[in-house]
Amino acid sequence: MKAAKRSNKLGKIFVISGPSGSGKTTLLTSLIQDKKIGKLLVKSCSITTRPKRSQEREGKEYFFVNPLEFRRQLKAKKILEWTRYLGYYYGTPREPLEKQLQGAKNVGLCLDLKGARILKKMYPCNTVTIFVLPPSLDVLKERIQGRCRHTKHQEIKQRMLLARKELQAAGKFDYCILNQNLSVAVEELKTIFLQESST
C-alpha cells in the first residue's frame, strides 16, 4: 500500500468575522467556489443550537443540534472553541479542523469576535483574520431582513445592536474588506487568500 503523502507544513486558518449580515458566509462560499482556490481551501462547518433558516442545509451552513447534544460534545472536548450569540450556542468541531491543518489544507471559518480572538491565540502563526464591513448600518439591516423573511423584528433589533459593538473591533483584524459590491469584495478576499496561503 502506498504511504499517504504527509507534509510537515500546517495549513492556514482564515477567520472571517464581522456583523451578522455583513456577508461573511457569502464571501467564504464564493472564495471556495473559485476552481483554483477550492482545491486549497475547505470550509469548517460549525455546530449550532440556533434553529435552521429555510435555505440552510444540514452539514453545509451548520450542523444543527439541540442544547443537550452541544453540551455533550463540549464535555467530550469535541469542540475547539465556542460562543453564545443571542442565546444560542455555536462551536467549531475540533477533529476536522486539526486534521485539515495537519494535511496542509487551508481552512476558512466564519466566526464571531470571540472565536477570531481564540483561534488567533491558539494558532498565532497560522491564523489570518479578516473583518467584513457592511457599506452602512441601513444596508446591513436590509441584508439581514432580506436573507430570511421569517427573521423576527426583535431578532433583527438584537443583531443590529450587536453589530454596532462588533464594528468597533474592525481595527484589530489583519485585514478589513468593505462588502459593497460583491464581486469587488470577493476579488479582495481572493487576493488576500492567495498572498497569505503562499507564505
Cell of 198: 503562499
Burial (CB count within 10 angstroms: exposed 0-12, middle 13-18, buried 19+), residue 23: buried
The yes or no reply on residue 44 touching ligand ADP (CB under 6 A) is: no
CB-based contact 94:44 (threshold 8 Å): no
Residue 182 binding: pick among ligand 5GP, ligand ADP, none (C-beta 5-8 Å cut-off by kind):
ligand ADP
CB-based contact 35:150 (threshold 8 Å): no
Q: Which of 84, 97, 94 is nearest to 49 (CA)?
A: 84
The yes or no reply on residue 86 touching ligand ADP (CB under 6 A) is: no
Question: Judged by CB under 6 A, which stretch of 18-26, 84-92, 169-177, 188-196 contacts ligand ADP?
Answer: 18-26
Sequence-separated (6 or more) residues with CB below 8 Å from residue 54: 148, 150
CB-based contact 101:78 (threshold 8 Å): no
Cell of 65: 443540534
Count of residues binding ligand ADP (CB under 6 A)?
15
Of the residues 92, 126, 129, 179, which one makes contact with ligand 5GP according to CB under 6 A: 92
The yes or no reply on residue 24 touching ligand ADP (CB under 6 A) is: yes
Residue 120 binding: pick among ligand ADP, ligand 5GP, none (C-beta 5-8 Å cut-off by kind):
none
Residue 14 binding: pick among ligand ADP, ligand 5GP, none (C-beta 5-8 Å cut-off by kind):
none
Amino acid at 163: A
The yes or no reply on residue 20 touching ligand 5GP (CB under 6 A) is: yes
The yes or no reply on residue 147 touching ligand 5GP (CB under 6 A) is: no
Three-state secondary structure call for residue 80 = strand
Can you give the binding site for ligand 5GP, defined by CB under 6 A?
20, 24, 46, 50, 81-83, 85, 90-92, 110-112, 114-115
**Contact positions toward ligand ADP, by CB under 6 A?**
18, 20-26, 110, 143, 146-147, 179, 182, 185
